[in-house]
């Protein structure tokens, strides 16, 4: 009986996610679901992406947090549309939450919506939102063992962004082994090594995002 209830919850969520996707397709909008542990650099990567693409791509952001508007306030300073979702304790965003957020965005004037999911490497990947792309950030200080501990998210994403590479000289992080492990789990994944602090690698990341908008929607 318990399994049946879980299936019903996910099925209802997936149905609304499909409706979200249909709405976004109607407006020609690409949606990226950005996931990471707390402190991995989700907001920082979004801000770097806005800076790199704002002259070519019309961007909006949906910020997901358990509480506060701290990250949304940072994004708002970039003068892009932003909607805050506070889950009140829920460890992930879901499709109904995104549907409410989309109603507050100027969809006719957008090319890309970047969703910052709640900081978590387990729950967010199980709940579809209506996204085109799933991206996870794995920051170097977290260690190179994360694919062993959280394989589901590494298997499910389209891209892995390895953030905070400016700290690699001070860490025990085996980058070649990390990349090999990820590609062994997900051969089609795109891997980017970046530092949102210094900007290293963020231009290559932003160019990939721009290409994905064209590929997914044109």
Domain ranges of the chain: 2-217
Please tell me the predicted confidence (pLDDT) of residue 215: 86
Q: How confident is the model at residue 10 (pLDDT cuts 50, 70, 90)?
A: confident
Closest C-alpha to 160, from 183, 189, 119 = 189
181, two tokens: 């492990």
Q: How confident is the model at residue 177 (pLDDT cuts 50, 70, 90)?
A: very high
DSSP state of 93: -
Burial (CB < 10 A; 0-12, 13-18, 19+), residue 218, is: exposed
Residue bearing tokens 């996707």:
21
Percent share of the chain, pLDDT over 90: 92
Instruction: Express each pLDDT in 124-150 by its tens digit.
Output: 999 999 999 999 999 999 999 999 999
102, two tokens: 């989309």
- CATH level 3 topology of 2-217: Rossmann fold (3.40.50)
114-151: b or e for each residue (b if 16 or more CB lie within 10 Å)?
A: bbbbbbbbebbbebbbbbbbbbbbbbbebebebbeebe
Continuous segment of H or E residues that includes residue 204? helix 202-217
Instruction: Express each pLDDT in 18-73 by its tens digit.
Output: 999 999 999 999 999 999 999 999 999 999 999 999 999 999 999 999 999 999 99
202, two tokens: 């963020």
Q: How confident is the model at residue 7 (pLDDT cuts 50, 70, 90)?
A: low
Instruction: Using the predicted structure, report yes or no on whether residue 80 has a pLDDT greater than 70.
Output: yes
């Amino acid at each position: 009986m318990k399994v049946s209830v879980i299936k019903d919850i996910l099925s209802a969520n997936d149905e609304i996610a499909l409706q979200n996707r249909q709405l976004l397709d109607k407006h020609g909008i690409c949606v990226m679901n950005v996931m990471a542990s707390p402190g991995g650099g989700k907001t920082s990567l979004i801000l770097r992406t806005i800076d790199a693409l704002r002259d070519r791509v019309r961007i909006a952001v949906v910020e997901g947090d358990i509480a506060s508007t701290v990250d949304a306030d940072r994004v708002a300073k970039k003068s892009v549309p932003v909607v805050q979702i506070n889950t009140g304790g829920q460890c992930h965003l879901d499709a109904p939450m995104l549907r409410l957020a989309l109603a507050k965005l100027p969809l006719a004037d957008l090319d890309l919506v970047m969703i910052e999911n709640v900081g978590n490497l387990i729950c967010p990947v199980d709940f579809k939102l209506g996204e085109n792309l799933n991206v996870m950030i794995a920051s170097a200080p977290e260690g190179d063992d994360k694919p062993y501990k959280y394989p589901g998210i590494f298997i499910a994403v389209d891209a892995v962004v390895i953030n905070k590479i400016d700290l690699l000289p001070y860490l025990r992080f085996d980058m070649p082994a990390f990349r090999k492990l990820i590609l062994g789990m997900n051969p089609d994944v795109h891997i980017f090594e970046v530092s949102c602090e210094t900007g290293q690698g963020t231009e290559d990341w932003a160019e990939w995002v721009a290409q994905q908008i064209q590929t997914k929607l044109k």
